[in-house]
Chain A
Amino acid sequence: MLSLRFAVPTANTLIPTKTKPKSGLVVQTGWKQTGLSSSPPKRYDYKLQAATTDITDGRASVEDKEVELPAGLSRELMPKHVAVIMDGNGRWARQRELPTSAGHEAGVKSLREMVELCGQWGIQVLTVFAFSSENWIRPKVEVNFLLSLFERALKSEMESFGRSGIRISVIGDSSKLPASLLSLINEVEETTKNNTRLQLIVAVSYSGKYDVIQACRSIAERVKDGQIQLEDIDEGLIEQELETNCTEYPYPDLLIRTSGELRVSNFLLWQLAYTELFFTQELWPDFGKEDFVEALSSYQQRQRRYGGRHS
């Protein structure tokens, strides 16, 4: 097997898009899960075998067979936690003279593909920035559509999460979410809490600064209750109280942001200290397997020191 290593040019901070915006449109309303087995594109030399699911005693377990990775990727160097800012749905729709809602629905399709790939390639945690606290200022129609799209997707995919071994966690300020969505979130989190193949963390109404503030507030309550002393407060304690404490791997190894913007926009501010940042011009509905492989290749080739030095 060819194994190529070469210096990756870093003069450009953006990875230029290799394909033109796709003309034509394939929009699927809702999120239909057709099963895990599908015919792989011929350009990838990998064998995909269907995962089988056994449900015993209310626990879903997935027996995975070995899935060969695309050429150039190494399973040992796969990031444990990937975070994604799914940007560009609106622009994608405008390019095609479609309503914004069509862009968001196409974005859901991209997310579904990414979740499948993460599960197959051994990524443990995928965190997606679905809705920022700043997004509340968008037109009410769009906000309502986004929340209802999220609710529909959760309802339709609940069963398949179990089959696929996906655990769902939702982080963010839930105080502004509709009651029906809140109750559905609780139900899905409870139903999938024992799944272990992949943890999908959806950030809804999330703000990185808010995350830090609510951690401090929680700590204050614990001090008031006498659980901890004032002197015990350090960055480790704050980290324990952040919303990403729902996972074993709270710090993303790789952050992908689509649509060409080069910023994190108040997403996981605390957690991104040593995260590899990958910015791509592709709009989120166009972000597919090839682009994900490119991001992972870029991650695997980097020399990461996490603040230390080479010995």
Chain B
Amino acid sequence: MDFSRQKRKLQFWTDKIGNILLRLSWHLVHAVIYLCYFTMGMVHALESHLISRGLLRKYKSLYISKINYLAIVIESEDACRTSNVIQLLQWVVALGINHICLYDNEGILKKSKDLILDKFDGVILFQDTQEDNMLLDQPCMTLEFVSYSDGKEAVARAANVLLKEYIKSGATGSNQGEQIFSESQMSEALKTVGSGGPEPDLILIYGPARCHLGFPAWRMRYTEIQHMGPLKSMKYGSLIKAIYRFTTVQQNYGK
């Protein structure tokens, strides 16, 4: 009887110690992983700080002229942070990039358009009637505001334009169909419906998810896409690093 009681007691304490050890291991693993990510975060923050101060030689001179047109995609919840958006634009302009497209899915930036434009002297609101090359030759800053309606919905409207032309031409053969429905005709039709901006060289995405949230698909065939994290965590150093990374890229365009 005593023996079985002793045995039960031993079993009890063994289980208890085992549980404690398991819990400790669990917390230890969590702590280690947390430390790793904390360290990575610190390293990123330090690197960003050093870049912003110009202490890292690699990032001192940027080949900015490689960016003719920059697009910034902002997640709609972040788009309400107008002060952050303005700060970001000021950084971009300070780097020498003057032609910028701002996109958010719900069109919140379009509603804040006047507030944003007020903060920049001599800025021109992008006019679709301009030719792309004329736009990019403008020495002053241009800003374009784009939302989801300028993407898929615009392509549908442009398709309607082409279709009306197709019907008007009394087209019967497939050749005429191919002439009217072509990539260049679609680009022209998009300009006609007011959604024909140039293809950006680089898109910076500010948001929690690494996706472009419906940015006009027709305009991003060869566009470089970089995810920057949430807008509230934006850093000047990270911006420079992203732009530097783009300027080192070489595109083969299929070759």
Contact = CB atoms under 8 A, between A and B. Distances in A.
Decide whether A and B assemble into one complex: yes
B226 A209 contact: no
Interface string B235-246: 100100010010
A309 B255 contact: no
B226 A307 contact: no
Contacts of A9: 37, 40-41, 44
Given A138-B255, A273-B151, A302-B209, A209 B220 contact: no
A57 interface: no
Interface stretch (B28-36, B85-93, B131-139): B28-36
A188 B217 CA distance: 31
Given A219-B163, A269-B220, A273-B217, A210 B183 contact: yes
A25 interface: no
Contact of B182 (A13, A213, A221, A235): A213
A265 B208 CA distance: 23
A277 B214 contact: no
B148 A219 contact: no
Interface residues of B, number: 65
A275 B210 CA distance: 8
A115 interface: no
Interface string B185-210: 01000000000000000000000111
A300 to B, nearest CB: 12
B226 A262 contact: yes
B57 interface: no
A265 B182 CA distance: 19
Interface in B198-233: 208-215, 217-218, 220-230
Contact of A307 (B37, B105, B227): B105
Given A208-B217, A266-B221, A220 B33 contact: no
B94 interface: no
A1 to B, nearest CB: 11
A10 B18 CA distance: 38
A220 B173 CA distance: 12
Contact of A269 (B44, B77, B217): B217
Nearest to A12: B44
Given A220-B166, A265-B254, A209 B221 contact: yes
Nearest to B204: A13
Interface in A202-235: 208-210, 212-214, 216-217, 219-221, 223-224, 230, 233-235
B209 A134 contact: no
B221 A269 contact: yes
A266 B251 CA distance: 13
B250 to A, nearest CB: 10
B211 to A, nearest CB: 5
A262 B181 contact: no
A292 interface: no
Contacts, number: 172
Contact of A6 (B37, B75, B152, B209): B37
Contacts of B226: 13, 262
Contact of A265 (B34, B166, B177, B221): B221
B155 A223 contact: no
Interface in A252-311: 261-266, 269-270, 272-278, 298, 302-305, 307, 309-310
Given A238-B152, A273-B151, A265 B211 contact: no
B167 A223 contact: yes
Given A137-B255, A262-B224, A212 B210 contact: no
Interface string B131-161: 0000000000000000010011101100110
B48 interface: yes
Nearest to A260: B249
B181 A216 contact: yes
A137 B210 contact: no
B90 to A, nearest CB: 21
Interface string B163-174: 110110000000
Interface in B49-74: none
A233 B163 CA distance: 10
A10 B159 contact: no
A269 B163 contact: no
Given A223-B163, A230-B163, A273-B217, A263 B224 contact: yes
Given A135-B254, A230-B167, A272-B212, 13 more contacts: A9-B40, A13-B226, A13-B242, A216-B163, A220-B163, A235-B155, A262-B249, A273-B151, A274-B213, A274-B214, A276-B211, A277-B210, A302-B209
Interface of A: 2, 4, 6-7, 9-13, 132-138, 208-210, 212-214, 216-217, 219-221, 223-224, 230, 233-235, 237-238, 261-266, 269-270, 272-278, 298, 302-305, 307, 309-310
Which 5 A-B pairs have CB atoms at the shortest separation, nearest pair first?
A134-B254, A10-B229, A269-B217, A273-B214, A11-B44
9 contacts: A10-B227, A13-B226, A134-B253, A216-B181, A217-B181, A220-B177, A238-B159, A264-B225, A272-B211
Interface of B: 26, 29-30, 33-34, 37, 40-41, 44, 48, 75-77, 105-106, 148, 151-153, 155-156, 159-160, 162-164, 166-167, 177-178, 180-183, 186, 208-215, 217-218, 220-230, 235, 238, 242, 245, 249, 251, 253-255
